[in-house]
Amino acid sequence: MDISNTRILIVGGGSGMGLALARHCLAAGASVVIAGRSEDRLRRASEELGNPAALETIAADITEETEVAALFERIGRLDHIVSTAADIEGAYQLLPALDLKAAQRVVESKFYGPLLLAKHGAPRLAAVGSITFTSGIAAYRPAARGSVVAAVNAALEGLVRALAVELAPIRVNVVSPGWVDTSIWAYVAGDKKAETLGKMAERLPVGRVGQPEDIADAIGFLMRNGFTTGTTLHVEGGHRLV
């Protein structure tokens, strides 16, 4: 399936994997809408992408149902929906120090947000369209301080299987990235980001950590492949093996 001349919503497209995906889709000839909470980040993303005519940015908080409904009212017809959004700030803590509100933000941004995108976005999608979410390696290789993120990633993959049945023939999938060099590591590892990623690169069979473009390429596959649904696509450099 060709994604040229399609209309694609990317939630969380202001940075990292979402921004790389926006660049990928624009280069393929698609019309792209980037949504996120920060207008400044959306403006910077548009500038980084060259402010193309095929790009629109909309400020919206996907944890608020009224804003999600308004987002789709504004966008109208769509072919594909993708969410890479996640608010994990403060969530990587050992249980004695875990702040419940930080944990709730992870659930709201990474589980309830995608659920609302499916609820209000599916009626706007073409029958051959798709929805793609983003989980992560923590569901398979959990670590201390990461219990909340691990649980939400696993729950999101279960949600995708159920939505693939309920929303058929719309395809619903999830990409599970491994360790990817994005700004999210500022929250996870702080000033030890380079050292932490370097040690993981030495462990992985592929000899490196991921780049945002690796994940963008995987999401692009799920949008294009009309015979894949209810699937978790692992893009983690062999992390589950080591």
Looking at the annotation, which residues are catalytic? 135
Cα distances from 238 to residues 141, 149, 172, 179, in angstroms, run 12, 20, 24, 11
